[in-house]
A and B are shown apart, each in its own frame.
Chain A
Amino acid sequence: MSKIIETHNISKVYKMGDNIVNALQSVSMSIDRGEYVAFMGPSGSGKSTLMNIVGCLDSPTDGTYMLNNQMVSEMTENELAQVRNKEIGFVFQTFNLLPRASALENVALPLIYAGYGKSERNEMAMAALESVSLADRWHHKPNELSGGQRQRVAIARALVNNPSIILADEPTGNLDSKTSYDIMWLFQELHDKGNTIIMVTHEDDIAHYAHRIIRLRDGLVEWDRKNDNVNRRPAEVAAAH
């Protein structure tokens, strides 16, 4: 399989007043296309920093980062914005939907920056909403949707541009257990369809939906192993769907 993400000795140092915090220390790793990876670790382990760098939301202080054969660690802010738009679909813990925009408009948002025309945008956004079973709620504003529905709108938005990777930051952090499982099963389906998914979580149970788990501690990779015990949707639930 081809490598979609490759980091080499990336570090991130924050200055907080007189203190220097080494959020990441020489982290090297690679992720193949189609993998489903979870970054795990306790609070302050560096998992969010790693996700921000992988998601091109932040740049490393040191080291190199290749995303889909592009050296993103040396890109300018506007180049990074283009990479985020084309290569990455984000799913956030707090959904991060625009409150005054409808579900359809929220999903279509990345397409605006990709330069699509309005009709094409709406068509693609509708298809993405259909893929998360929310086509009938396209006109609803976020405050008219449940937490799970909001997260599914966020997932549809992440998918709409057909990105290289889906990056989910604590995607179940704001959801109840049942809804959390619904979202995980949706991720399972996306992975089964060939999408590359990287998920950040501090919940062991949720991390086990991924096929590979990278555990971080104090800015270092503590371990990186294949998950032999993948949580899957029970057959009867799958059948009911």
Chain B
Amino acid sequence: MRVKLLYSTDLKAIERALEAKGAHLDTDVLMDHVVYMFEIEDCSRVTTHQLVRHRVASYDQESQRFSAATKEGVVTPPSISANEAALDAYEDGLKAVYSAYEKMVAAGVPKEDARYILPTAIKTKLVMTVSARSLMHIVWQRTALQAQWEIRELAAQLHGLARGATPELWGEIVER
């Protein structure tokens, strides 16, 4: 998985503008005015299905309607890769699914229909723009021990990048 911060609001510029006006806003208010745009690549669709449930954010994701799927582009959970019998079953299943996908596309089925058979393990790419307030909620919920390993990894990376860009806003927020 690769997560990159494409930009974040210049909080210092906002603070300077407020200071010039003789105004002050608490961190709690400024959280609504700071946004981050992230690029997220090579996480599974399992995880992006969980991510986009956080509705107060903007997402644009690679569409399977138009791009062809390849069996190299899948995420394998550690619980499967560490278990030989499970890994064999996983790889056999993927082989069968991708073979059926390729046969359907070769037979003239549009990619948008052939994709119905594809696994949610498939790797995907997306951009996400989110306010500091929404991101804090995501980090709080998705770094919890009850959250799944892959979205925990994603939330931790989002947190690290946001904290690095605007440490003033993240002082009291800790991962669970």
Is this pair of chains taken from one and the same complex?
A: no
